[in-house]
Chain A
């Protein structure tokens, strides 16, 4: 266990200025007393322009950029997201992230305390997921040209030998499994947005999915056909993409969809459909029907996912479309969202 108490070192500045991205003395100080000390590992400690790695076997690579506003929200901050997001993208390929690059684009004026808190969260999240920061970059843009801080992470890691994850392997009769309750992250963020603030104890679900994904593959191998983390656009958008690619029909059961009562209530109040609201710590898997129950049991028992459930199946009906059976037995289509989900008037 590393010591996660990281008192902020003495910086002789309170806010990030353009000078911190100049490559000069200020950049040097920021890196020496901040980045290098916090993320220290043999590859990073060489302080070279890039890291050199020896790789063997199948490797997965993924990159993602993070632009969340506000930077800090109930349950996490942009730092956790930046690590977990890329770790999860790799996990959904059946891979375990081992190395991560980290790029900051900071808006002039960001308080150093905020940057420090974000970096500490990055360290914590990287530690939890078992991933090393091996290379990085810091740029500073003028005030008004950014939104506090943007973060890019690129991750890489070996693909599990038993993994065979592809939308092309999805078959009629396969079951859809979700690892946890939907829409928590999006609503946690929304609760802080200017003009929409409401009191809630809802927190973001941000967390690494690599362990549960690996557990499913370890136990069920190629019977796990497909995995995705339904981030922005939510469950509905992921399923629509897959339906369009595979030409299969996907039917969801509304009664089976796990959602926290508070989140559901907030969605009702704001006029949002939770199927389109972002998640940062749940996994959607398409698995062979004969292992579906066992997958859910594994998620319940080994990976602390008490709300994991079978939420639907792959059918020959309505090829290329996603439909949902409503609580009262009616059926409707769940379409792609035409742009941002906008709150309704009444």
Chain B
């Protein structure tokens, strides 16, 4: 496949691995921010191929995992209203709220639809004028432009029975929260390539400077990830703390200006609560008062209830990189994708689910033994 197979080339992978092994002289801990990167590392078996000195920790960049229970409860509550069609990206459906998931709500009769694009939801609203269509607008900076655009489109087309339940989170404040944690172990970051495709990379220079931490903007295929790791290791070994861009085929320094403009048109930056991490100031998007009639929270007068997560789940420690999924006593036992105790076990991008799906407990040890 063009633009994919080149970045899965076994020869290049071998070459990069040799270079990483050569470059690494001491232990380094590197965090990949994005769940897509975690997924790819585990799915391709890359973790076992890296030098023992390199520890990859899996960051909070899984939007499904960090969506607070209270917001999932709100979505379920909305979906259960008789006149509401709730539309969502697929992997939000299995995430447990306080009592049930959207998938269970759907089984009990709620009208929940899986869509790939919020613009489809606007179309659905236009086709069903007697219904209220709500799009569950979850995600990082990557999904924000499309969600914002759906609001702009709805307004232009005069579709008034459409609104979004926004739960948008932002990457740079989360990185600062991790780096500012006194227990922080992270020596370098692989920044999320697709977030930077939208937002550009300027936000990362002050972070690299303030926390003296290398940041390499990295893609998602095996060759991307290994090249990103190599660039990070080279910086660490040479004592540099710079922002570098591995994912040049997608990321430009200024990002996608049009997308940023659309985000700014519809959203304000606001404080956000992250599941497993807690409140992070100025770390999310909320719909601007100007577009309040498209804000499901305002339209349906939702009470914004706060619900604490399951305290048996150590998702916070996992998403901050303090613990590995299999170090949790419940991993694969009481907590499985069928019966998750917490969010990282639910989404295919969650670190726990990635480990559960793709790694045998001890596969690495067995293979190398």
Contact = CB atoms under 8 A, between A and B. Distances in A.
A3 B142 CA distance: 56
B357 A343 contact: no
Interface string A268-292: 1011000000000000000000000
A345 B363 contact: no
B143 A345 contact: yes
Contacts of A342: 90-91, 93-94, 114, 348
A2 interface: no
A332 B90 contact: no
Interface string B7-42: 011100110000000000000000000001000001
B197 to A, nearest CB: 11
A330 B91 contact: no
Contact of B363 (A265, A271, A333): A333
Contacts of A328: 8-10, 13-14, 44-46, 222
Contacts of B143: 345-346
B356 interface: yes
Contacts of A195: 87, 113-117, 120, 124
Contacts, number: 114
Interface in B81-105: 87, 89-94, 103
Contacts of A344: 89-91, 347-349
A195 B116 CA distance: 7
Query: Binding site of A, secondary structure by majority: helix, strand, loop or mixed?
Result: loop
Interface in A274-331: 317-318, 321, 323, 326-331
B128 interface: no
Contacts of B359: 332-333
A291 B348 CA distance: 39
A265 B138 CA distance: 25
Determine which residue in A194, A317, A329, A335 has the highest number of CB atoms from chain B within 10 A of its CB, and name it.
Answer: A329
Nearest to B348: A344
Given A344-B347, A346-B139, A332 B44 contact: yes
Given A328-B44, A329-B49, A332-B42, A343 B91 contact: yes
A264 B44 contact: no
B4 interface: yes
Contact of B338 (A261, A321, A329, A339): A339
Interface string B346-369: 011100000011111001001100
A195 B86 CA distance: 13
25 contacts: A195-B113, A195-B115, A195-B120, A196-B115, A261-B1, A271-B348, A317-B366, A323-B360, A327-B8, A328-B9, A328-B10, A328-B13, A328-B45, A330-B45, A330-B46, A330-B49, A331-B48, A333-B357, A333-B363, A338-B337, A342-B348, A343-B114, A344-B89, A344-B349, A345-B64
Interface of A: 194-196, 261, 264-265, 268, 270-271, 317-318, 321, 323, 326-333, 335, 338-339, 342-346
